[in-house]
A and B are shown apart, each in its own frame.
Chain A
Amino acid sequence: MDTSTLIGLVSIGVIILFLIGVPIFLVIGFWVVGASLVIDFTLANIGVTLFEGLNFFGLLSLPLFILTGDLIAAAGIARRLADFAHACLCWMRGGLGLATIGSCGLFAAISGSNSATTATIGGIMHPLLKEDGYDSRFAAATAAAGGTVGIIIPPSIIFIVYGFLMNLSISDLFVAGILPGFLMVIAMQGVCWYMCRKHNWGTVTPLVMSRVFKTARLAYLGFFAIFIVIFGIYSGIFSPTEAAAITVGFCLLAGLLLTREIKWKALPDILLRSGQLTGMLAPMIAISIVMQQVFGLLGAGEAVAAFVEWFGSGDTVTLLVCMGIVMAAGTILESLPVTVIFAPILAPIAVATGVDPVHFSVIFLVGAAIGFITPPFGLNLFVASGVTGIPYSKLVKFALMYMIGLVIAWMIIAFIPWLSLGLIPSSAV
């Protein structure tokens, strides 16, 4: 049998492993082993890369931003941000729903995780939304949808992974995510406002400026953390790792000394939870580096490029096909495997047609983020279901409404590069 047939058989084998529920790390690992044996590539490379692949200082921002997410939730900073968002938006129909999405955006500007955003904001806002007369399924779907900006608004754990894998500046990626993340928030708030108006959900209360100022004063710790991350990285004062370190230190001190909601006794559990997530993400990064090497040896990029060209030539068709592949993958995979498997294949194809690599990273990851609320595997829907107790299947209908808004935002982001590149100081659009 020739090499391509054998690689095809290996791929079918691991797809079966994936479908029967074998951990995705092993699925990728065994594909790498099988493909390496087929092309006679030494298996020692796997050992060496799992060893050396993570040896990069910039990657340390990953565990630090994971820890930041856990610390701001434990320190009560997230709740204060949510109070502020509600005080600002209570005068609109569906104000509490809009505030839920706005809070997700604020939380995402300190934390880098979609699931942490959904779980934290969903846990705080869902009981309030129910109390205010919202359909509890819609309320849970709102938290799930809002969480999608967790990986787009900087800092973002997945942007770190993407930048590391594709050799792009993590600072540039973070800055590139600011406006698209903001646009996603606006799009979801538009859907929320429409739904609340249609169903007459929620109460409308007058805007009280004293309440806005009071909640803003209480939320100052959150604003300061956002300032450290966004301004520190944007201005070039801090690298992402340094910004992450400063934010960790700040959130820890704030939780211990100012809000006093973090107890010394709770610290080991917070660290263990962050360590557990690091132990899930970092091994996937390491094994995907080996997979990239094997892809390179196999010429996988050329094969996928030929597949994309089969749909037609032209920049727009190529970009739309790439987006379609990301969307399809996102319906059954979490953003990390989507990124580690498809980014090394699709990014060179899109870049070859003239798309800026940083712009494509945003297009790619917004698509992966939409996957968080698309069935059958919508991770944020699982998280929202777990936090609110609403069955997964009942969230799907409402989540699809948000998906429409997000897909419109995605198209705008894809076809207006300025949104991603306009704020990057070194970029000329």
Chain B
Amino acid sequence: MSILMAPLRWLDDHAERTIILIAYSSMALIIVYAVIQRYIFNSQIAWSSTIPIYLFLWVTWIGCAYNVKQRTHLVFNDIRLRMPYGMQFAMMWLDAILWVSFGTMVAYFTIEQTQIAYDNFAIVGGTNDVMQWWFYLATPVGWFLLMFRALQNLWSDIGRYLRREPFLVDIQSIGGD
């Protein structure tokens, strides 16, 4: 059982981190290399302006899920900070319900879009065999991960409530600092 749990725990800790690192560094490296190539060698790889945009999609939506995990999305929390304990617990439920309901809708429609790209064998511009749906998957995957993180947060909030511990409502989003 513990053999099974170890990789799951690793995934739980590192899923967003790993994807963001791969997508962000690949995106930055491709653009930097393309600019150098254009100015120094006077040439350009055809896909250097298309693949980075798709990698940006992965960074965006996995980053969005990571912010839910860290509870660092922008909020106006002055009133919530002053709410009584029970009310704050209700707010935690509300957050989770809203994320999951909005996420379900987004995931439904973006799966549809991914399916269309898959059915049409849509290929990324400037490439011969890189399928668009590999990158389009970023949005539904990001939103499924986001909903999972929202439910995980709710689960830990229920634990806090049962132990009468304070909730995490005072995290400030300070733009990555």
Binding site for B on A (CB under 8 A): 17-26, 29-30, 33, 43-44, 46-48, 50-51, 54-57, 59-60, 63-64, 66-67, 70, 113-116, 119-120, 238, 241-242, 244-246, 248-249, 268, 271-280, 282-284, 286, 332-334, 336-337, 376-377, 379, 382-383, 386-387
Contact at A43–B56, with CB atoms within 8 Å?
A: no
Contact at B24–A271, with CB atoms within 8 Å?
A: yes
Contact at B70–A276, with CB atoms within 8 Å?
A: yes
Contact at A274–B176, with CB atoms within 8 Å?
A: yes
For A392, the closest partner residue in chain B by CB is: B172
* Sampled A-B contacts (17; CB under 8 Å): A20-B80, A24-B74, A26-B95, A30-B98, A33-B105, A47-B108, A48-B113, A66-B176, A245-B32, A268-B17, A279-B64, A280-B73, A280-B173, A282-B64, A284-B74, A332-B76, A386-B172
Contact at B21–A272, with CB atoms within 8 Å?
A: yes
Does B35 count as interface, using CB distance less than 8 angstroms?
yes
Query: What CA separation (Å) do A70 and B175 show in the bound complex?
Result: 11
For B71, the closest partner residue in chain A by CB is: A23
Contact at A51–B28, with CB atoms within 8 Å?
A: no
Chain B 47-85 interface residues, beta-carbon cutoff 8 Å to A:
49, 52-53, 56-57, 59-67, 70, 72-81, 83
Contact at B74–A386, with CB atoms within 8 Å?
A: no
Query: What CA separation (Å) do A280 and B81 show in the bound complex?
Result: 22
Does B131 count as interface, using CB distance less than 8 angstroms?
no
Query: What CA separation (Å) do A429 and B24 show in the bound complex?
Result: 41
B155: chain A residues at CB < 8 Å are none
Contact at B75–A22, with CB atoms within 8 Å?
A: yes
Contact at B76–A30, with CB atoms within 8 Å?
A: no
Provide the main secondary structure of the chain A interface.
Answer: helix
Contact at A29–B109, with CB atoms within 8 Å?
A: no
Query: What CA separation (Å) do A46 and B106 show in the bound complex?
Result: 7
Does B152 count as interface, using CB distance less than 8 angstroms?
no
Query: What CA separation (Å) do A333 and B49 show in the bound complex?
Result: 34
Binding site for A on B (CB under 8 A): 17, 20-21, 23-25, 27-28, 31-32, 34-36, 49, 52-53, 56-57, 59-67, 70, 72-81, 83, 91, 94-95, 98-99, 102, 105-106, 108-110, 112-113, 136, 139, 169, 172-177
Partner of A50, one of B17, B28, B74, B110: B110
A383: chain B residues at CB < 8 Å are 172, 174-175, 177
Contact at B63–A279, with CB atoms within 8 Å?
A: yes
B157 → A minimal CB distance (Å) = 14
A63 → B minimal CB distance (Å) = 6
5 A-B pairs with the lowest CB-CB distances in the bound complex, closest first: A279-B63, A47-B109, A277-B176, A21-B80, A115-B175
Contact at B75–A23, with CB atoms within 8 Å?
A: yes
Query: What CA separation (Å) do A47 and B62 show in the bound complex?
Result: 16
Contact at B74–A64, with CB atoms within 8 Å?
A: no
For A267, the closest partner residue in chain B by CB is: B25
Given A25-B74, A67-B24, A280-B74, 17 further pairs, Cβ under 8 A: A18-B76, A21-B80, A23-B73, A43-B105, A47-B112, A51-B113, A57-B49, A245-B35, A248-B28, A248-B32, A272-B20, A274-B24, A276-B70, A279-B62, A280-B175, A282-B59, A386-B172
A62 → B minimal CB distance (Å) = 8
Partner of A119, one of B31, B56, B139, B174: B174
A41 → B minimal CB distance (Å) = 13
Partner of A278, one of B36, B59, B78, B91: B59
B110: chain A residues at CB < 8 Å are 47, 50-51
